[in-house]
């Protein structure tokens, strides 16, 4: 069961990363900002779930703590977030995260 549960969390992260990267190509709007922030919450939540199952799995993955913290900020302090700061380098971070998680995902699904 462990492997199946964790696999779902990884897949949720991958799907949300792909969606955010596609959203970043669109014209800016309030609806788009909300959609991106929702997907960032999903990424952070699923990373947190993976971490709770086995914190060793993600120990060498960069930006884990900052993405979980961002999820908490979006959830609890949404109105005070500056989307320009969030957008500034989120695409780079997500591409790197996806690359690092794919390596782990392949190892646990051998």
Cβ–Cβ under 8 Å, residues 57 and 108: yes
pLDDT category of residue 11 using cuts at 50, 70 and 90: very high
Give the relative orientation of helices 30-53 and 83-108 as an angle to the nearest 10 degrees: 40
7 or 86, greater pLDDT: 7
pLDDT in tens, 26-73: 888 889 989 999 999 999 999 999 988 888 999 889 888 888 888 888
**Domain span including residue 47:** 2-108
CATH number at 18 reads 1.20.120
Instruction: Round the average pLDDT of the chain to a whole number and report it.
Output: 87
Structural domains counted in the chain: 1
pTM of the shown model: 0.87
Give 54-78 as a DSSP string. -TTTTTT-TTHHHHHHHHHHHHHHG
3 or 20, greater pLDDT: 20
């Amino acid at each position: 069961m462990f492997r199946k549960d964790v696999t779902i969390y990884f897949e949720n992260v991958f799907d949300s990363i792909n969606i955010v990267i596609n959203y970043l190509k669109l014209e800016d709007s309030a609806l788009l900002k909300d959609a991106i922030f929702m997907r960032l919450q999903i990424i952070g939540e699923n990373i947190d779930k993976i971490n709770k199952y086995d914190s060793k799995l993600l120990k060498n993955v960069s930006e884990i703590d900052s993405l979980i913290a961002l999820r908490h900020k979006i959830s609890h302090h949404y109105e005070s977030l500056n989307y320009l700061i969030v957008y500034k380098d989120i695409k780079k971070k997500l591409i790197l995260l996806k690359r690092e998680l794919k390596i782990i995902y392949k190892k646990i699904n051998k």
